[in-house]
Amino acid sequence: MEGMAQRIQHGNKKRADEMKIFKKISNFLETKESFIEPESHPQWSPRRSKRDTDYNLYRRHHKLSILLEDADTLKREQNERQAKAKSLKAELQYVRKKINYLNNQLENVDSKILKAYKHGNQLRDQKK
pTM: 0.43
Give the separation between CA 95 and CA 56, rounded to whole angstroms.
58
Q: What is the pLDDT of residue 47?
A: 64
Domain ranges for the chain: 1-36, 49-127
**Per-residue pLDDT for 45 more than 60?**
no
Q: What is the pLDDT of residue 20?
A: 72
Q: Tell me the per-residue pLDDT of 6-21, one tens digit each, with 9 for 90 and over.
A: 665 666 556 666 677 7
Structure confidence at residue 46 as a pLDDT band (50, 70, 90) = low
| Distance (Å) of CA 62 to CA 56, 59, 69, 99 | 10, 5, 11, 55
